[in-house]
Amino acid sequence: MTDPSVEDWWTTSIIRMEPGVIEFRDRPIEDLIGTVSFPQMIWLMLRGDLPTPGQARLLEAALVASVDHGPQAPSIAIARMAVTCGVGLNNAMASAVNVLGDVHGGAGEQLVELFGRIDRAGGPAAVPEALKAHRAEHGKFVPGFGHRFHKDGDPRAPRLLGLVDDLAAQGEISGRFAAIARAIEAELARGKPRGVPMNIDGATAVIFAELGFAAPLARGIFCLSRSVGILAHAWEQSQQGGRNKGPMPPNYLWTYGGAPGA
């Protein structure tokens, strides 16, 4: 391998710059400011083109829906603790976004992949087989369905699904990933009194799949959305004060588990 030249070391198709010129995907920034919405700009940066208004509204709904799930979520608790340790809002946001990993932030990514496999295998009819394979590899839990707190249903999911149905009725998206998700929901409910209803991760995964986003971007866009809640809680905590705030009141320490092997 010959070493690359300095000029070619960093290459991007996202941005072009000259003194006085900033273009994103060949569009001058001054034509974008005041013209495109923030979700349209997010799409342009990630995809290289602009979405239709309907596509943008659907992406916007997903961005709005996932901003926050309260101080019991590890990401939010971390942001609040961080500011009491004497770091800036950017640092608190970083410590928090960092934990949106495979478990906390990965359900959407895994589900977009699963939806894609089911779609390529023929759609809803392939669901029972696909779930069997998924569980053989990953265990009983199917990401995106059921919620340990909202046991009778996540209030965000039906609203998001309704917007998906509207756009599919207008022919802007196919609606086939919504059908797959509903087939999964039906399969999971079979023989159970209460069912395992789709949650926010399931509904946003439907949106990302319908809009054609690559699976890892389901996680990436969730990070953009949750960053809003992270910032809001970090800011609120900074107004409340507190120094080195631990997870629980200081009169509760922890259980000492004994020496290993004891």
**Residue 185 Cβ, how far from a second copy at the closest point, in Å?**
17
Q: Residue 156's Cα: distance from chain center in Å?
A: 14
Burial 12-25 (b: 16+ CB within 10 A, else e): eeeeeeeeeeebbe
Distances from the Cα of 124 to the Cα of 23, 170, 199, angstroms: 43, 21, 19
**Residue 203 Cβ, how far from a second copy at the closest point, in Å?**
10
**What span, in angstroms and rounded, lies between the C-alpha atoms of 156 and 203?**
8
**What span, in angstroms and rounded, lies between the C-alpha atoms of 203 and 161?**
6
| Phi/psi of residue 43, nearest 5 degrees | -60, -45
Nearer to a second copy, 49 or 137 (CB): 49
Nearer to a second copy, 25 or 176 (CB): 25
| Phi/psi of residue 41, nearest 5 degrees | -65, -40
Nearer to a second copy, 30 or 129 (CB): 30
Nearer to a second copy, 33 or 136 (CB): 33
**Residue 210 Cβ, how far from a second copy at the closest point, in Å?**
15
**Residue 228 Cβ, how far from a second copy at the closest point, in Å?**
5
